[in-house]
């Protein structure tokens, strides 16, 4: 497959503009998305549109939960001069180099390095470029990635800080091992989709009645894993977990998610109390930076699994979590680390250590984007869907031009070209902050 | 000592305004501050001024290296509504709570949590409030801190994620052990100052002749430790380290600083090559996030010490570096972690693990701010200056109202009230970005 050469419209096509818009959805009004540390999120996006001099476009975003989305937009604008004017062919032929250009700028990296608002901004731009690439090739990004050669894929990876855990040769070996089965797995994926789990029943803001009703509905809809938010009140958690267990029966997995509420000893105590209801994994039991803390919790709460990732800010952190035995389940995020490119490295790390990847999703457009990563993992990296599920939350999909499609507890593989990250133009206008009609009080 | 009650002007005094200004110094023109990953920094500050309804003011800043300073300013402005309007007495009586208010906002914390631009912005605000507190009490902040009771000091600390390494009782025990010697050490500090080391000779952009000349001058000025930047070119590093060693003789310590240039195996190889010239510590050998990598390097390069901290983004990361044995020297920073308040926790962690703290400085105002932390550590926490030195770089002090004073290789203890972080009003105007005369091309 081409890496960008050959198909381009004009040899001189460049990135002509990079626009960042502050888009916010007023989700706090309904307590959707409420958890132990995020009581009232307004799901938001630093929404990026790249346009080329040839008239092509690519869309990407970094997800935030409301206030601070303006800071993410400012960070995108600070990075934009590093992208504008570059020849599109050169960018697409060296997406590893493009990512390092964004994350390695000698002045901007001081704000990270490779973390926080500046790294999320890099994600939004990198994702927009992958969207552009998919559109140009006429392929969904999962397929585009799955058709790159092992050599092209490892060229995406910055091995500087990974080499003590994963060398280029080891990464090549992983990808070559999976190569013979790509066609068969692609066919199976297109037919069956990729397993999903749902967080819809379990937000802290929901009543017991709503929890039970939504849990039963989830099982009826084909989900085999549901997730409950915990960590604010032990008695309430015991009650809600019991109710959910009664609602779904013994064979459906129930994950619980503390959203960083606990210190290490408290996490161990709390999970010991919840153990009788057979939780499948405990997600974000403590600070997402606490590699050694996660490892200590994992040793103590086994056979309950430990999951984390949505706030793990880069591949160096994931590397150590794998080295230290902190994780049973790796929950990469579409825009916390630097987008599709860094996530290729993270998928390779997970494959090296034999840890299943179950992407974080929900929010704005995260389901749309991470499905491409999980499907690529299945086709060309791990080669497996065993114990692997993509999070699904039924929020805000109606605002996307290529929304996720769920059937029988599975994500159906997207077939439209790109990364599925384009927000409907009318939704962008409506939800622009602070001047769009939803926020300025002029909505119909 | 009062924690804010009693001395206040009016019971209703509130934080009336919080201003953030983008101040940049064009240091890249002279290659001051050049290192392996920062070839052309323009030392900058997101400069914060808090004014109270009673007419008092406090100044703080977050340091950056140029581009991106606008993002830090945007982050300060995003946090400002959390501070404006609060009663000053309540803030000063619960500075631990104030810090958690800034870093724990349920929406803004998504940009971190506790890392990157939003955390640096919290540092700038927290530092400004400590400056205000010092001015109100008529004391330099090192003295203000050193006169708080052990109970008041531990109330500053958020133990949620620390308790597996440091409990409140252990922290109290450390502080109580140091209490009897406070007065004696204060007297000694006022007389002798606190040991400094200098990075002035060793920037990568300097010629060999300049390196040798500045190294000799440093020794003549009383410094017993100098630092050289390394990591861009092994042959050049060998030559420069040899020249520096010849210039200073065998008894002056020479630290080397790679500024994150290497992966783990490369760091070990490189330092093995430099070992014949007896480097004292290797600073930032690899990614600042790589706790396990630093520990592996430390095991391999001993007796050369491993130092890091200027990019270590919060107390949870330092906790793990201490738990994992990653560090011989802990280099806290005034505005990478959340300012004075979080640094109290980091000093307590270092004391618990018996690791000396040698603060990172240079940049804009970092020398001015960190001297207060190191002096407080000496008087009231570790009780020692053994193997402890504050970095000193002779840049930009002329822009501060209370610049550091160096005598015979020591920082003299500041005596003016506050945190020494106030920039001269004329310098702020002159260097405001992008409209100040220095940047708009209208400077005299």
Give the rounded percent of residues in chain B with a pLDDT score beyond 70. 95
pLDDT at B31: 60
Chain A contact probe: residue of B40, B103, B164, B293 with most A CBs at under 10 A: B164
Q: Is the pLDDT of residue B444 over 70?
A: no
**Searching chain A, which residue's CA lies closest to the CA of residue B62?**
A111
B229 is catalytic: yes
Residue B17 phi, psi (nearest 5): -150, 155
A100-156 pLDDT, tens digit each: 999 999 999 999 999 999 999 999 999 999 999 999 999 999 999 999 999 999 999
Residue B303 phi, psi (nearest 5): -85, 0
Chain B contact probe: residue of A22, A80, A106 with most B CBs at under 10 A: A106
Q: How many CB pairs under 8 A join A and B?
A: 196
Min Cα separation A119/chain B (Å): 9
Name which of A316, A387, A326, A308 is nearest A349 in CA terms. A316
Q: Would you call A111 and B66 a contact, using CB atoms and an 8 Å cutoff? A: no
Facing residues of A432 across strands? A23
Cβ pair B60, B129 in contact under 8 A:
yes
Which of B71, B266, B287 lies at the smallest CB-CB distance from A117? Answer: B71
What pTM was computed for the model?
0.96
Taken in order A275, A280, A285, A289, the sign of the CA dihedral is: positive
Fold annotation for B177-430: TIM Barrel (3.20.20)
Q: Is the pLDDT of residue B40 over 90?
A: no
**Searching chain A, which residue's CA lies closest to the CA of residue B116?**
A116
Q: How far is CA B132 from CA A327, B87, B188, B420, in A?
A: 44, 13, 26, 11
B98-134 pLDDT, tens digit each: 999 999 999 999 999 999 999 999 999 999 999 999 9
- Predicted confidence band of residue B91 (pLDDT cuts 50, 70, 90): very high
Mean pLDDT across B43-67 = 98
Task: Look at B381 and A444; give whichever has higher pLDDT.
Answer: B381
Q: Is the pLDDT of residue A386 over 70?
A: yes
Using DSSP's 3-state secondary structure scheme, residue B36 falls into: coil
- Predicted confidence band of residue B146 (pLDDT cuts 50, 70, 90): very high
pLDDT at B36: 67
Q: Would you call A118 and B118 a contact, using CB atoms and an 8 Å cutoff? A: no
B273-292 pLDDT, tens digit each: 999 999 999 999 999 999 99
- Predicted confidence band of residue B58 (pLDDT cuts 50, 70, 90): very high
Cβ contacts of B38 on chain A, cutoff 8 Å: 106-107, 110
Q: Would you call B37 and A116 a contact, using CB atoms and an 8 Å cutoff? A: no
Q: Is the pLDDT of residue B2 over 50?
A: no
Q: Is the pLDDT of residue A39 over 80?
A: no
pLDDT at A376: 99
Contacts of B135 (CB under 8 A, 6+ apart): B56, B57, B58, B417, B418
Q: Is the pLDDT of residue B3 over 80?
A: no
pLDDT at A36: 67
Q: Is the pLDDT of residue B214 over 50?
A: yes
Q: Would you call B107 and A64 a contact, using CB atoms and an 8 Å cutoff? A: yes
Contacts of B75 (CB under 8 A, 6+ apart): A68, A71, A117, B46, B111, B117, B118, B120, B121
Q: Would you call A164 and B288 a contact, using CB atoms and an 8 Å cutoff? A: no
> Helix, strand, coil shares of chain A as percentages rounded to 5?
45, 15, 40
Mean pLDDT across B53-57 = 97
pLDDT at A22: 98
Residue A426: enclosing H or E segment and its boundaries?
helix A425-431
Min Cα separation B36/chain A (Å): 10
In angstroms, the CA A120 to CA A114 distance is 9
B235-269 pLDDT, tens digit each: 999 999 999 999 999 999 999 999 999 999 999 99
State the catalytic residue, choosing from A360, A372, A399, A431: A360
pLDDT at A10: 52
Residue A141 phi, psi (nearest 5): -65, -35
- Predicted confidence band of residue A5 (pLDDT cuts 50, 70, 90): very low
Give the rounded percent of residues in chain A with a pLDDT score beyond 90. 91
Q: E strands within B53-188?
A: 57-64
**Searching chain A, which residue's CA lies closest to the CA of residue B322?**
A292
Mean pLDDT across B87-96 = 98
The DSSP 8-state label assigned to residue B380 in this structure reads I
Cβ pair A230, A260 in contact under 8 A:
no
In angstroms, the CA B314 to CA A127 distance is 28
Cβ contacts of B107 on chain A, cutoff 8 Å: 38, 40-42, 64-68
Pairing mode, strands B44-52 and B15-24: antiparallel
pLDDT at B33: 62
Q: Would you call B159 and A260 a contact, using CB atoms and an 8 Å cutoff? A: no
Q: Is the pLDDT of residue B22 over 90?
A: yes
Q: Is the pLDDT of residue A32 over 70?
A: no
Cβ contacts of A68 on chain B, cutoff 8 Å: 75, 78, 107-108, 110-111, 118
Q: Is the pLDDT of residue B9 over 60?
A: no
A297-347 pLDDT, tens digit each: 999 999 999 999 999 999 999 999 999 999 999 999 999 999 999 999 999
pLDDT at A202: 86
Q: Would you call B159 and A293 a contact, using CB atoms and an 8 Å cutoff? A: no
Which of A38, A107, A161 lies at the smallest CB-CB distance from B290? Answer: A161
For every residue of A258-316, DSSP letters joined together read -TT---HHHHHHHHHHHGGG-EEEEE--S-TT-HHHHHHHHHHHTTSEEEE-TT--SHH
pLDDT at A38: 66
A431 is catalytic: no
| Mean pLDDT, all residues of chain A | 95
Length of chain B in terms of residues written: 444
pLDDT at B5: 44
Mean pLDDT across A268-272 = 98
- Predicted confidence band of residue A2 (pLDDT cuts 50, 70, 90): very low
pLDDT at A28: 84
Min Cα separation B402/chain A (Å): 26
Burial of residue B325, with CB atoms counted within 10 A of its CB: 0-12 exposed, 13-18 middle, 19 or more buried: middle
Give me A41's structure tokens: 């999120």
Mean pLDDT across B192-210 = 92
Contacts of A336 (CB under 8 A, 6+ apart): A119, A120, A123, A309, A310, A311, A312, A313, A360
State the catalytic residue, choosing from B115, B360, B372, B431: B360
């Amino acid at each position: 497959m081409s890496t960008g050469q050959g198909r381009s419209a004009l040899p001189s096509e460049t990135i002509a503009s990079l626009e960042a818009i502050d888009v916010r959805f007023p989700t706090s009004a309904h307590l959707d998305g409420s958890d132990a540390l995020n009581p009232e999120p307004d799901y938001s996006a630093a929404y990026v549109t790249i346009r080329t001099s040839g008239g092509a476009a690519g869309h990407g975003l970094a997800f935030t939960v409301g206030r601070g989305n303006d800071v993410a937009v400012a960070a995108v604008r600070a990075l934009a001069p590093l992208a504008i004017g570059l020849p599109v062919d050169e960018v697409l032929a060296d997406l590893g180099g493009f990512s390092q250009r964004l994350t390695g700028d000698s002045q901007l990296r001081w704000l990270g390095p490779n973390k926080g608002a500046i790294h999320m901004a890099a994600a939004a731009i990198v994702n927009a470029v992958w969207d552009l690439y998919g559109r140009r090739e006429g392929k969904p990004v999962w397929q585009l990635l799955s058709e790159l050669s092992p050599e092209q894929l490892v060229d995406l990876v910055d091995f500087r800080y990974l080499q003590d855990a994963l060398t280029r040769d080891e990464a090549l070996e992983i990808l070559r091992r999976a190569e013979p089965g790509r066609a068969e797995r692609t066919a199976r994926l297109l037919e069956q989709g990729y397993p999903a789990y749902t967080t819809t029943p379990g937000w802290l803001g929901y009543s017991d009645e709503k929890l039970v009703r939504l849990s039963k509905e989830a099982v009826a809809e084909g989900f085999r894993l549901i997730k409950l938010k915990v960590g604010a009140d032990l008695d309430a958690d015991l009650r809600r977990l019991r109710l959910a267990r009664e609602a779904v029966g013994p064979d459906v997995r129930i994950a619980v998610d503390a959203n960083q509420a606990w210190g290490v000893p408290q996490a161990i105590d709390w999970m010991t109390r919840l153990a009788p209801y057979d939780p499948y994994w405990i997600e974000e039991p403590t600070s997402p930076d606490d590699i050694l803390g996660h490892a200590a919790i994992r040793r103590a709460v086994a056979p309950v699994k430990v999951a984390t990732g949505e706030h793990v800010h880069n591949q160096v952190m994931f590397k150590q979590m794998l080295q230290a035995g902190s994780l049973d389940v790796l929950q990469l995020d579409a825009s916390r680390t630097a987008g599709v490119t860094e996530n290729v490295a993270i998928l390779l790390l997970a494959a090296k250590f034999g840890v299943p990847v179950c992407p974080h999703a929900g929010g704005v457009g995260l389901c749309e984007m991470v499905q491409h990563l999980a499907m690529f993992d299945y086709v060309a990296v791990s080669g497996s869907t065993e114990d692997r599920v993509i999070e699904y939350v039924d929020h805000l999909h109606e605002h996307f031009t290529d929304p996720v499609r769920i059937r029988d507890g599975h994500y159906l593989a997207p077939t439209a070209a790109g990364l599925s990250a384009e927000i409907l133009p009318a939704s962008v206008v409506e939800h622009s902050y602070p001047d769009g009609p939803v926020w300025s009080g002029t909505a119909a």
